Copies of this chain bind each other. A is one copy, B any other.
Amino acid sequence: MAEAARQPVTAPAKRGAHLLDAVVEVVADGGITAVSMRSVAAAAGVSLAQVQYYFRSKDELVAAAFEHVSEGVEGRAADLDTSGPPRMVLRRLLELWLPSTAERARDARVWVAFTAAAMTSAPLREINTRIDRDLRAGFSGLLRQAQATGDLDPALDPDVHAAVLLAVVDGLVTQAVLAPEDGRADLAARGLDAHLSRLFADQEQP
């Protein structure tokens, strides 16, 4: 399962894969605005002709990089330790998005850039819609399992709360990477735990 989910990243059919990390670097440093066939060639240390050989336009390049980043997260999710109660698995899954390292913080910045670009680009919106749907489906599956094991109130709508969970992670990560001070992952982790405690109606420590 882990192998199957990650297979697209390494499949030979994936054209120009060696250029996609360069696109991600360019987006992380300068936003989508900074992406051009030329800037990607420079960042990848290849000729402009080589970028043009693999991608016909800037839009195609950006879409491929968006897929690339999302496959990276999906690969990490597929590798996840799924042992233990559903709530613990959910916490582990959500933690994958927290900007706990410089690389994760970079991914988060890139993610926000792609989301914003999806507002005005139909192909990017399509990718975004698919990823969001998959994430919500994963979250609501775990919430249903938690209801089955008696850990989550069965009266709750798992689909609505999956959308809220996605919002909490997206929103906290955005706040964290924009926060001026250090301790960003900490801020997001505290918010995430506070949210899960309310969702699962933990007893508060007075």
Residues on A facing B (Cβ under 8 Å): 29-34, 109, 112-113, 115-120, 125, 128-129, 132, 153, 155-157, 160-161, 163-164, 166-172, 174-175, 177-180, 187, 190-191, 194-195, 198-199, 201, 204-206
Taking chain A's interface residues, is the majority helix, strand, or loop, or is none over half, making it mixed?
helix
- Asked if B178 and A171 make an inter-chain contact with CB atoms under 8 angstroms apart, the answer reads no
Q: Tell me whether A119 and B113 are in contact in the complex, defined as CB-CB below 8 angstroms, given that A156-B194, A195-B164 are known contacts.
A: yes
Q: Tell me whether A175 and B180 are in contact in the complex, defined as CB-CB below 8 angstroms, given that A155-B204, A160-B191, A204-B156 are known contacts.
A: no
Query: Which residues of the partner chain B approach A120 to less than 8 Å between Cβ atoms?
Result: 29-31, 34, 109
- Asked if A116 and B116 make an inter-chain contact with CB atoms under 8 angstroms apart, the answer reads yes
Q: Which residue of B lies closest to A181 (CB)?
A: B129
**Bound complex: CA A177 to CA B34 (Å):** 25
State which of B32, B33, B178, B191 has its C-beta within 8 Å of the C-beta of A129: B178
A-B contact pairs, 23 of them (CB 8 A): A31-B117, A33-B33, A109-B119, A112-B116, A113-B116, A118-B178, A125-B178, A129-B178, A129-B180, A153-B204, A156-B204, A160-B191, A163-B172, A163-B175, A167-B167, A167-B170, A167-B171, A168-B168, A169-B171, A170-B170, A170-B175, A171-B171, A198-B198
- Asked if B112 and A115 make an inter-chain contact with CB atoms under 8 angstroms apart, the answer reads yes
Q: Which residue of B lies closest to A33 (CB)?
A: B33
Q: Tell me whether A31 and B168 are in contact in the complex, defined as CB-CB below 8 angstroms, given that A132-B178, A204-B155, A205-B155 are known contacts.
A: no
Q: Within the oligomer, what is the number of copies of this chain?
A: 2
- Asked if B155 and A164 make an inter-chain contact with CB atoms under 8 angstroms apart, the answer reads no
**Bound complex: CA A29 to CA B119 (Å):** 9
Q: Tell me whether A164 and B170 are in contact in the complex, defined as CB-CB below 8 angstroms, given that A30-B120, A125-B178, A204-B153 are known contacts.
A: no
Chain B nearest CB from A183 CB (Å) reads 13
- Asked if B191 and A163 make an inter-chain contact with CB atoms under 8 angstroms apart, the answer reads yes
Query: Which residues of the partner chain B approach A179 to less than 8 Å between Cβ atoms?
Result: 129
